[in-house]
A and B are shown apart, each in its own frame.
Chain A
Amino acid sequence: MCGMNKKKKLRSNLITYGMVIAAFAIVQILQSTGHLSSLLQGLLVPICVYVILAVSLNLVVGISGELSLGHAGFMCVGAFAGAIFTKCTQEAITIDLLRFVLAILVAALAAAVFGILIGIPVLRLKGDYLAIVTLAFGEIIKNVINVFYIGKDANGFHFSLKDQFSLGMEPDGKVILGGPQGITGISKQSTFLIGVILILITLFIVLNLIDSRDGRAIMSIRDNRIAAESIGINITKYKLMAFTVSAALAGVAGALYSHNLATLQASKFNFNTSILALVFVVLGGIGNIRGSVIAAVILTALPELLRGLADYRMLIYSIVLIVMMLFNWAPKALEWRERYLGRFFKKSAKEGE
């Protein structure tokens, strides 16, 4: 990692940005010439969401070296914080774009606060224990939002954990968050352009963090905790930094996600969503940010592209996943690749280590 000189690193980063911009341009051309099916058009924003989610998770899993199984929880916080903000300021802020930008910032901030609150206890643990606690927090966030009611009337906000009627609102009050029903009537603000801009911002933050002094401290903890500690690196501070930035970016992904839907329910952000993000990270290459982007795009589009196969699509998806994992990670497969496919794969195999 450190052997790579500055110029090469810069070039690699520019390729990543360029790739995203090129993909955006190609999609725009296809769209204007009418070559993009409506199915794919509907996928554009979700793809952006999952790219941001995957890149943010890679910061924790790849760069900080901690397995997080509850990333969907932060996305959930961001999604709801952003959507609640949008609903509450519908009348106060009349410029749509400004409101959406503020909603994204609120989402990032809310998720970051949760990142710090959860990170402080969680980061004391190690390995699989840390993984299971992140899973637990993710599930708790989902479950609590699922029973949470928020209403607003002339007297201000009302909260309840029971039901809509125990909010005790005036007759003119309206329910903002309705427990398992979630939030309805969110104004649809997410566009592909905004999604791509958010991807670029995410990449800028993460890539710059990795190449900074802080990033090197984070990676040194991953590579050897004790050695890092012995040269005076503050373990808790740097781990928490990676965890919080990652949570905030997941919150951004959540806001983008919630403003693409008419209704938002907490049950969407379950364990499977966290796992999905992890699949993107591992398949794209742990610690390889560009890989996360590519894997998220392909794997989000794949099930939809396989839709023609109807019932068999998830079956094929799972087989593709297993085969790709074996091909990319099995020591025997790597040996075989090196022997028969030669230089073509050598570099990527090494990067995975």
Chain B
Amino acid sequence: MSLLSYLINGISLGSVYAIIALGYTMVYGIARMLNFAHGDVIMVGGYVALTVVLSYSTNPLVAVLVAIVVCTVLGIVIERVAYRPLRGAASPLAVLITAIGVSYLLQNVVLLIFGPNPKSFQSVVPFPDLKLAGGTLNISAETIVTIASCIVIMIALTTFINKTKAGQAMLAVSEDKGAAQLMGINVNGTIALTFAIGSGLAAIAGVLLCSSYPSLSPYTGSMPGIKAFVAAVFGGIGSIPGAMIGGIVLGVIEILSKAYISSQLADAIVFAVLIVVLLVKPTGLLGKKIQEKV
């Protein structure tokens, strides 16, 4: 039974990685940039939800909604102020470093407002744990909600991209910015929309992450951020199902190596698996093979 419960925990953690990785992968697919501030948006989402729960409303749904709204706006503002001016810069590294600057900025603003000490987060999931197999298998309600949210988000996002005009515009911009513009697509608007969706997802991921691992500090977001980035690359960056698979595989590997090998080496094992996958399939599991043109 313990293997099964580890697996379920792994899938739950992996679902959070997957939701974060979706944000990474969408932004990468469309703006060709690694948004290193994405992990810190998760952390901001956690703090917003915590503040709402503690001082305004105890309804968890309200807290989540407020967090989503704040992070969405934050994502749009970051894109507008820090990233858009650098579109067309001579080196793609410029926007990467700016993203790191934004990441430091978010961490330090939160540090000034809330202080450096970790805050304990109250789970926003109001349901009791699920006991199966005569009480030997205990699945926490957070786990179920996390996995369910991940599935819902995945379906919603796929439908959005394939069935709506805005979604099709996103695909077009990620294929070829210039051609998309010629077809009358508002490229800047589409990119802003992508950041908005990615940041909204980050807020959800933040709340879910903090519900399962109830400790929140200004640096909470950075490690899950990096892991989700790894997950996105693992699945093939730019691919939405890839982000999903990458996230879940990563979460399962992490939990299993923590349980059976060494908790200190878990991160090293995760990264080693990534290296092996990339060496065998250099563009990730579901990544598109880019043809080299002369």
Contacts and interface: CB of A to CB of B under 8 A. Distances in A.
Given A121-B279, A139-B267, A330 B105 contact: no
A350 to B, nearest CB: 10
A322 B264 contact: no
A67 B271 contact: no
Interface stretch (B48-56, B86-94, B170-178, B183-191): B86-94
Nearest to A70: B271
A147 interface: yes
A128 B104 contact: no
B70 interface: no
For B101, B230, B237, the residue with the greatest tally of chain A CB atoms inside 10 Å of its CB is: B101
A204 interface: no
Contact of B97 (A132, A278, A330): A278
A132 B230 contact: yes
Interface string A261-303: 0000000000100010011001100100000000000000000
Contact of A314 (B86, B100, B104, B271): B104
Nearest to B236: A129
A113 interface: no
B233 interface: yes
Nearest to B82: A322
Contacts of B140: none
Interface in A218-250: 226
A325 interface: yes
A258 B265 CA distance: 23
Nearest to B232: A132
Interface in A300-345: 311-312, 314-315, 317-319, 321-322, 325-326, 328-333
A137 B284 CA distance: 17
Interface residues of B, number: 49
A123 B248 CA distance: 28
B149 interface: no
Contacts of A326: 82, 85-86, 98
Interface in A125-141: 125-126, 128-129, 131-133, 135-137, 139-140
For B93, B222, B226, the residue with the greatest tally of chain A CB atoms inside 10 Å of its CB is: B93
A177 to B, nearest CB: 14
A161 B263 CA distance: 12
Nearest to A314: B108
Contacts of B230: 132, 135-136
Contacts of A283: 97
B229 A282 contact: no
Contacts of A330: 85-86, 89
Contacts of A318: 101-102, 104-105, 108
B112 interface: yes
A143 B95 CA distance: 29
Nearest to B84: A330
Contacts of A253: none
B145 interface: no
B34 interface: yes
A286 B272 CA distance: 29
A136 B86 contact: no
Contacts of A129: 233, 237, 278, 282-284
A229 to B, nearest CB: 10
A321 B222 CA distance: 19
B97 A147 contact: no
A109 interface: no
B271 A137 contact: yes
Contact of B282 (A125, A319, A332): A125
B109 A315 contact: yes
A339 B17 CA distance: 46
B279 A124 contact: yes
A140 B272 contact: yes
Given A318-B108, A326-B82, A329-B91, A133 B264 contact: no
Contacts of B101: 318-319, 321-322, 325
A319 B100 CA distance: 11
A319 B108 CA distance: 10
A52 interface: no
B268 A286 contact: no
B144 interface: no
A328 to B, nearest CB: 8
A175 B195 CA distance: 51
A168 interface: no
A282 B108 contact: no
Interface of B: 28, 34, 36, 82, 85-91, 93-98, 100-102, 104-105, 107-109, 111-112, 222, 226, 229-230, 233, 237, 262, 264-265, 267-268, 271-272, 274-275, 278-279, 282-284, 292, 294
24 contacts: A67-B93, A67-B96, A128-B237, A129-B278, A132-B229, A140-B275, A143-B267, A271-B226, A282-B91, A311-B111, A311-B112, A312-B112, A314-B104, A314-B108, A315-B105, A321-B100, A321-B104, A322-B82, A326-B86, A329-B86, A331-B87, A331-B89, A333-B85, A352-B91
Given A125-B278, A318-B105, 20 more contacts: A129-B282, A131-B34, A135-B226, A136-B274, A139-B267, A139-B268, A144-B268, A147-B264, A271-B222, A278-B97, A282-B93, A314-B107, A321-B98, A322-B98, A325-B97, A325-B101, A326-B82, A329-B94, A329-B95, A353-B90
Interface of A: 61, 67, 121, 124-126, 128-129, 131-133, 135-137, 139-140, 143-144, 146-147, 161, 180, 226, 271, 275, 278-279, 282-283, 286, 311-312, 314-315, 317-319, 321-322, 325-326, 328-333, 352-353
Rank and list the top 4 A-B pairs by shortest CB-CB distance, nearest first.
A318-B104, A329-B94, A136-B271, A143-B268
